[in-house]
Structures are given as structure tokens and as C-alpha cells.
Amino acid sequence: MENTDLEYLYHYTNVSSLAMILKNRNIRFSPLTVLDDIEEEKNQDLQKYAKWVFVSSWTDSAVESIPMWRMYTSQTDGVRIKLPKNPFCNYKLTINHFDKVNKMLPMSIEDMDIVIPPEEYIFSDYVLVNYHQNHLLHQVIYTDDNEKLYPQIKEVNDEEFTFTSSNLGLYKNTYWSFQNEWRYILYFLPIPLRTFLINPFRPDLRNIFTCIDLSFTYYYLNLDELKFKDLEITLSPQISDGNRLIVNLLVEKYAPTAKIVESELLGKIR
């Protein structure tokens, strides 16, 4: 679910992670299996499907959060970055990109925008299911409903099965509601695109949805240059002089259009 009035999102992190964001101009996505809410990796099927769901967590609250500063940054080297929503690069995927696969497949496509380079999308050993930027951003819904917190992912019958990993990553228990979380979610399947296009749900593929790992631990999406120029960095309330200097040097070298601002909590908390 996306709020069309939403313009900016905020991400709490540390100076080391900021350095990588500025230098590489990308955002790291982590699997649900490494996040602090252990419930997020659970489902009714008792399988580890959450390892194929990668997220980048943000908040829509422009007001600084003391719990967020203390949970997700170190007090002396924390920063909060602000970017326009959907800040990732778009790549044009055309029928020409499919030439090497399309000869064997009864398919046709129209040109479309995707968030990863076409060659990666087509020739990798995995499929990014929600490849369009407009399908990445979701507002987390806080609930006590166990049917939503622990969804059923796979349904099997004699002819085929359905697999809906998109039920993961959308809901969190109400005790996390202070986060006001929005997240970008990537849903992967550990099969090549050609297999997926033929029929990802045919019976002889059922077993792959039990134990196969993806070939990467984290995933990175490139930032659009125009959105990157709108970057704002808030320093943590107790940032050290050394880390303040590091942030200034990083911005000077990698993001000269970025704005650095002081925390509104500066001098107000220990």
C-alpha cells in the first residue's frame, strides 16, 4: 500500500553505512531472516521462505525518534538520511534483451521499466518477481492477527501449486508500531527467469521451494542520480567531532549537493 501524498522517507543508520551509500550510490536490502523482529521469518508452512524476501526499512516520520536513534545507530556515529520516495534507478527492458531466451519461449513483451539492469534480470540464477519500482514500497501494517503475522505461503493440489511469498514482510506485531515503518520489499525466487517463464508452479518444481538459498547475502539497488541530489543527512544528537568531520568529508567528496543538518535533539538528551 502506498500513500500518493508521501514525498520523503527517512532511514536511521551509522556513518560507516552512510559512506557506502554515498560512495556506491546504492541502498542495501537485507533478508527478513536477519531483522530484529524474529516473527517476520515465520509462516504457517514452517519453511524458510523469508530468506527470499529482502527489505530496506524507512519511516515516514519527519520528527526525530529517540528510540530509533538508540536502536538503529550508535549515539556517537549515527545519521538519518532523507530521500524522496522510490529513489531507485529505472532501466528499460525491451524485447531485444530477451533474444537469447525468447527463441525457446512462446512469449512476447512490451518495453517496461525495471529496477535492475536488464542483463541481470534475464540471465541471473534468480528472479526478482516485483521488478517495477511502483511495486516496491509498502507501509507496514501493525496487527495482532496471527493469520497475517504468520501467513500461509504455499498451497498444493494434484495439478499445481500456488506460492505467494508476497504475503511476507507486510505485517508486524503492534508492539513495533512506534517505528511508523515503510519498507521497500524485494521478492525473489531462486530459479532462472527461463524456468520461471515456462511455468514456475508446475509440480516438478515444488521441491525447490523447500531449501534452496539465493546466491547472495544482501542485495543492492542503485539510486537515481536526480533523487540522490535531494539527499539530506541529519547528524545524531551526540555525534562525535570525529564523525561529524567524516560526514562532512564524505559529502564533499561523494555528494556535494547533499544537505547536512543538526539534530533537533542536540543538547537535549544524554
Q: What is the CA radius of gyration of the chain?
A: 20
* Cβ–Cβ under 8 Å, residues 146 and 191: no
| Intervals of the chain under pLDDT 50 | 1, 106
Nearest C-alpha neighbor of 24 from the set 262, 215, 219, 216: 219
Domain encompassing residue 22: 8-261
Q: Is residue 215 part of a domain?
A: yes
267 within some domain: no
Question: What is the count of structural domains for the chain?
Answer: 1
Residue 256 counted as domain residue: yes
Q: What's the CA gap between 8 and 123, in Å, rounded?
A: 33
Q: What is the pLDDT of residues 101-130, one digit of tens each?
A: 555 554 556 678 999 999 898 889 898 989
Position 225 in a domain? yes
Predicted confidence at residue 204, as pLDDT, reads 54
Asked if residue 222 is part of any domain, the answer here is yes
pLDDT for 1: 47
**Domain membership flag for residue 269:** no
